[in-house]
Structure 1
Amino acid sequence: MNYWLTYFEKSGMTESPDYHNSVKYFEKFEKNFPSVKIKDIGITPQGRKLKVVIISKDKAFTPLKAKRTGKAIVLIQNGIHPGEIEGKDACMLLLREILVTKEKAHLLDNLILLIIPVLNVDGHERLSPFNRPNQNGPKKMGWRTNALNLNLNRDYLKADTPEIQSFLKLFNEWLPDFMIDNHTTNGADYQYHVTYGIEKHQNIDRGLVQWIKNKYLPYLHCKVEADGFIIGPYMEFKNGAIESGILDLPSPPRLSHGYCAVQNRVCLLVETHSLKPFANRVFSTKSMMHHTLEYLNDNVEEIMALNIQADKNPLRNYLTEKKKFPLILISNGKFEKFLFKGFEWYDEYSEITGSMVRKYTSKPVEIEIPIFNQAKSLKKIFVPEAYLIPQEFESVIKVLNYHQIKLTRLQNDKMFKVERYRFTNVSFSPRPYEGRQLPSFNTECFEENILLPKGTYIVPTKQRALRVIINLLEPDAPDSFAHWGFFNAFFERKEYAEAYIMEPYADIMLENNPTLRNDFYKRLEFDEKFRNSPLDRLDFFYQRSPFFDTRENVYPIMRFISKSGVDF
């Protein structure tokens, strides 16, 4: 049995192996069991190979063969944040119990497992005992971001990184029935050994929501607590303090569980507690995975049927029945009471910070706090039949291809009646976020008849990934191309009119246009900032002149609202 001891166990449960030795351990399974196959899925920025371990009793090592088995596909991802690495070690132990000791061999009766040992391999190899000051072990751990200093768990929709591009290829080819993403959380001290995030709001199919709330989560709580681990929802506090309450609100698709939701799939985000010993975190993660697989294995037909229906429902709801799509989700301010299991705390003045600092004791307490777990739609939209993308936006098309969105192209020039957006109140974040300068804006919709040239891309919304399409292409969506800065150039003015040219032209405009003259003098009367700004006053006329660039602040992607004379 010594052959199957993990590095974690040999170290006295205080260490995790580097990537080379991690892969070597998984290769033992491949060498000894024909039901295991390891495949390369990509290359990291520093040239390391990304791996996936496929476990199938039927040797169904391709997506096509896997689908033919009728079994549910479960994807387990580890090490997207490599300092939070216990999922990798827990997977080694769980696989040993499935394949070697066979005490959990039945989990392969109805399931096929895909395990990514480490997604952020470059970050994993940036080992140090000092990478996570809030964390209790292992002795050395990896770094949060990849070699490009980007956080992979903000990249699922925009797909800037090679690692996520590789992940998306794997995900969309296999289209798992369930995903588990293993993490460790920072923040307050509390009794919970393990917490979880899972989508239960308007960003995921209602049938899956009912399954999560009424069946899966009650089962998971019962079984994990029977293993001796205290389990609760992910602890994100409203104002950063426990007493302000827990936020349990929709996650954007930049995150793993938010991305799965827009793919009509459930993702369990496992978040062990960073202050608990490393061994406790490994075993609580293993418990979460084991009981999730147990439930899925026992209820395989139900989850697969729910997923099939979840793929159909958006097409019926938003295209056939013309319901409005919930584009922006926020808290409705309502909450339920939650019995929080924490440790007694106190706030103490610090000479270091010059402010109060929260400190925790080891005395357990239970207090009632609010949990804000209801969302409302701040904005809803009607889903168009298609989006039209000019062919020059190859960077956008590349991302759509990563998500395996179906596209066609115009074979000839054609007239379209479209809806377009104009950006207003544009501003930019003072610092970059994930390497991008993020804009903030409002939008105004207008209609236009436009001749689009041959080669224009057509993105029909009548496809399984409708939610992905909307979240990328609707500019007001929180993780849209527009909000991630893909179209920042369209906020810039590229031509100008000098005052000595524009001022006499403005005189002529005033003389010949009574409506414009009235608008100008009203603005002078009621807008002090405008009245006192020579540049704004001149710009008033420039924007209304034939010299003004009509593409400034106009979103170049169009919504197709009429099929008149057009064949997709």
Structure 2
Amino acid sequence: MKLQTQAPMKSTSTTRVARAFSLRVAMVVTACALSLSLANSSAVAADNTWPQTRFEQNGYKTTSSVADVDIFMSALMKKDKSLQVYVPKNGPRTTETGQPLNAWKLASTGKDPLRVYINAGIHAGEVEGKDAIQTIMRELVQGKHPEIRKALEIVTLPTYNADGADAQDPANRRHQPNPEGGVGPRENVFGIDLNRDMMKAAAANTRWMLAMYKDFQPAAVFDLHTTNGSYHGFHITYEPAWATGGDADLQGLNRKMLTDVRATMAERGMPTYDYGNFRYNKEKQIDGWESAFSSPNLVSNYPTLQYALGVLVETYVYRTYPQRIEDNRLYVLELLRWLVVHKDEVKKEQLAARERWAQQWKNKQARLPLRTEMSFAENYIFDVVDPIKDANGQIIGEKSRTKMELPAYVAFNAVDEMPVPEGYLVDPAYADKLRPILEAHGLKVLPGTSRPRQQSLMYFHESERNIAKDTFQGIFTAQIKGVWKEQLPEKRAGYVWTQDTLDRALYVPVNQPLGRLAFYLLDPRSADGLVYWGYLHAYYARGKGMWGEPPRQPILAVGAQLSDAANKVNKIEQKKPEHVQE
């Protein structure tokens, strides 16, 4: 670790006040300059005939509501018929409270475009992406970026958390410089963090997005956020789709995209880096930078399980509201330009990833990891800011800014990789509950009679079960460990699998294009599957007062290739009990 501290700053109260005052003046000047710049560019572009966003109309005093975005985009549609309202087939039109899920599609002017979905406002207190995407769409309609229009087709839903978008209040997220009218809350009206919902799909918003995947089939997905973590010098932090089990080569291209854009933005004076936070040792000293998540329940991680690129965009929360909008606009445009240049490469790698998965099955070598671990990526020089904050937590000055060369742990390695089963059987008692979720993800769900009869039925033998003591997303999550075996578990069940229940079960093959999703949704050991999210708690979370025999296992594996440890156990036992009661 190398330190290079900038010129020391006097710590007297007079100096701090002066610096705080200077910073406030700078912020005001910057905001005014950005406001004038955007207003003037729009006026010059088309003699004031182009629609203006809500924040442009009132000088950044308020952010857009759902209706504001609809009015703006509707006016923009009149300028170009290639911009149309987008409704995914079989997707919900509103949230559970009736708030509209308004999306738009801008068609490409060229042939065989790459499809891009841009999501904004998933956390309604993080508004700059929602506002920036409106200006981007206007610029595209104006013809300012013809190379993007020719190569890409874009769908966007600027107010994804439609419930929160209209619940604006100055009391929300007071630690960030906000418009006078305030911003919305993080979660939806039911308290669900929509950026933790991609796998369990509890919210209408998520089911809309899954319908979009099936209908639009995007090659890249951007999710626009605002970070409120460590105090650093980056205007934007980002993260590729790192979900456990994604194709490694496709994920490598995803990372290359973001490092390429990082270099381009650095040349233009915008510092960007991988999303994360400073890591502290036992002495509470900074000793590294590390990323956070590899779970597919995040919108930006999920795309890799759909063979798409994903980008988490996190604007630095402590920059001014106008600055954050402009940072989003510039960064997203550069991501789009990269996709234009690498359009053919992206398509080729997506196809190759699908073929690699199919080849694993042909070679009888289909394997997936149960989890990932953060790994070292590179050493990098970071700005470490010691901030001066006001009573609301907003930065009003800096005591110092130190440059530190630190190890960055912003990549993930797959661990606990193992063979996967041919497919899963879901108890018919759970069919009505699970089929809609599985099919919403785009999985092929077949009747139990379609299972390969030559393959053995496998039962899950638990070695550990941990039901959370506190709720996450309103759910007491379940973490399960164990192995699949041909032997029935020792503990007798009150109900048994019969030939009839096997035939009436749902059969979900893992040997299908989206089989990775099937594995992570249905395997009991998955850290982000339906067992974890409580969909099968009737079996996995039996508590006090339930003293009778438990029900039968709700999920069986078909033709599971056993782990080495399980194979050793089976060789020793030499017993093969009947699987099914006729």
TM-score range for the pair, normalised by the shorter chain length: 0.7 to 0.9
Equivalent position to 1:400, from 430, 434, 438:
438
Change (3 A) 1:54 1:359: closer
Change (3 A) 1:362 1:266: farther
Q: Aligned Cα RMSD in Å?
A: 2.9
The corresponding residue for 2:29 is none
The corresponding residue for 2:205 is 163
> C-alpha separation between the residues in 2 aligned to 1:297 and 1:248?
28
State the Cα distance separating 1:438 from its structure 2 match: 1.1
State the Cα distance separating 1:227 from its structure 2 match: 3.7
> C-alpha separation between the residues in 1 aligned to 2:377 and 2:396?
27
State the Cα distance separating 1:376 from its structure 2 match: 3.9
State the Cα distance separating 1:90 from its structure 2 match: 0.9
TM-score (normalizing by structure 1):
0.80
Task: Work out the percentage of aligned pairs sharing the same amino acid.
Answer: 21
The corresponding residue for 2:273 is 232
Could you report, residue by residue, the CA deviation over 1:218-258 in whole angstroms, capped at 9, with x for unpaired residues? 33113323443211111234459781422236510010122
Partner SS for 2:356: helix
Change (3 A) 1:412 1:200: closer
Equivalent position to 2:222, from 155, 162, 180:
180
The corresponding residue for 2:165 is 124
Could you report, residue by residue, the CA deviation over 1:168-217 in whole angstroms, capped at 9, with x for unpaired residues? 10122211011111000111222111110113586332322332344x22
Equivalent position to 2:424, from 387, 396, 399:
387
Could you report, residue by residue, the CA deviation over 1:95-120 in whole angstroms, capped at 9, with x for unpaired residues? 222112x2213311111000111111
Amino acid at match of 2:305: V
CA contact (8 A) 2:460 2:483 kept: yes
Change (3 A) 1:85 1:562: closer
The corresponding residue for 2:398 is 361
Moved more, 32-41 or 272-281: 32-41
Equivalence map 1:209-220=2 (5 Å): 209-214=251-256, 216-220=257-261
1 or 2 for the larger relative contact order (CA 8 Å, sep ≥6)? 2
CA contact (8 A) 1:329 1:376 kept: yes
Change (3 A) 1:314 1:14: farther
Moved more, 5-14 or 166-175: 5-14
> C-alpha separation between the residues in 2 aligned to 1:302 and 1:83?
36
> Does residue 112 of structure 2 align to residue 114 of structure 1?
no
CA contact (8 A) 1:193 1:284 kept: yes
**Max radius of gyration: which structure?**
1
The corresponding residue for 1:535 is none
Change (3 A) 1:14 1:314: farther
Change (3 A) 1:87 1:412: closer
State the Cα distance separating 1:340 from its structure 2 match: 1.0
Equivalent position to 1:458, from 496, 501, 507:
507
Equivalence map 1:538-549=2 (5 Å): 549=549
CA contact (8 A) 1:14 1:138 kept: yes
Equivalence map 1:128-527=2 (5 Å): 128-139=169-180, 140-199=182-241, 203-214=245-256, 216-238=257-279, 243-248=286-291, 251-317=294-360, 320-331=363-374, 334=376, 336-344=378-386, 361-393=398-430, 394-411=432-449, 417-448=456-487, 451-453=498-500, 454-491=503-540, 492=542
The corresponding residue for 1:44 is 95
Change (3 A) 1:270 1:234: same
Amino acid at match of 2:56: E
Amino acid at match of 2:474: G
Equivalent position to 1:71, from 83, 104, 113:
113
> C-alpha separation between the residues in 2 aligned to 1:374 and 1:207?
13
State the Cα distance separating 1:24 from its structure 2 match: 0.6
Change (3 A) 1:183 1:249: closer
> C-alpha separation between the residues in 1 aligned to 2:396 and 2:64?
33
> C-alpha separation between the residues in 2 aligned to 1:301 and 1:107?
14
The corresponding residue for 1:538 is none
State the Cα distance separating 1:428 from its structure 2 match: 2.2
Amino acid at match of 1:368: E
Amino acid at match of 1:428: I
Change (3 A) 1:407 1:494: farther
> C-alpha separation between the residues in 2 aligned to 1:318 and 1:477?
21
Change (3 A) 1:415 1:493: farther
In the alignment, structure 2 segments of 5+ residues that lack a partner are: 1-42, 489-496, 562-582
Partner SS for 1:128: coil
Partner SS for 1:445: strand
Partner SS for 1:183: strand
CA contact (8 A) 1:19 1:121 kept: yes
Moved more, 371-380 or 246-255: 371-380
State the Cα distance separating 1:369 from its structure 2 match: 2.2
The corresponding residue for 1:53 is 104
> C-alpha separation between the residues in 2 aligned to 1:435 and 1:33?
44
Moved more, 130-139 or 188-197: 130-139
Amino acid at match of 1:381: M
Amino acid at match of 2:179: P
CA contact (8 A) 1:188 1:242 kept: no
Change (3 A) 1:200 1:415: closer
TM-score (normalizing by structure 2):
0.78
State the Cα distance separating 1:318 from its structure 2 match: 5.2
Paired positions, count: 490
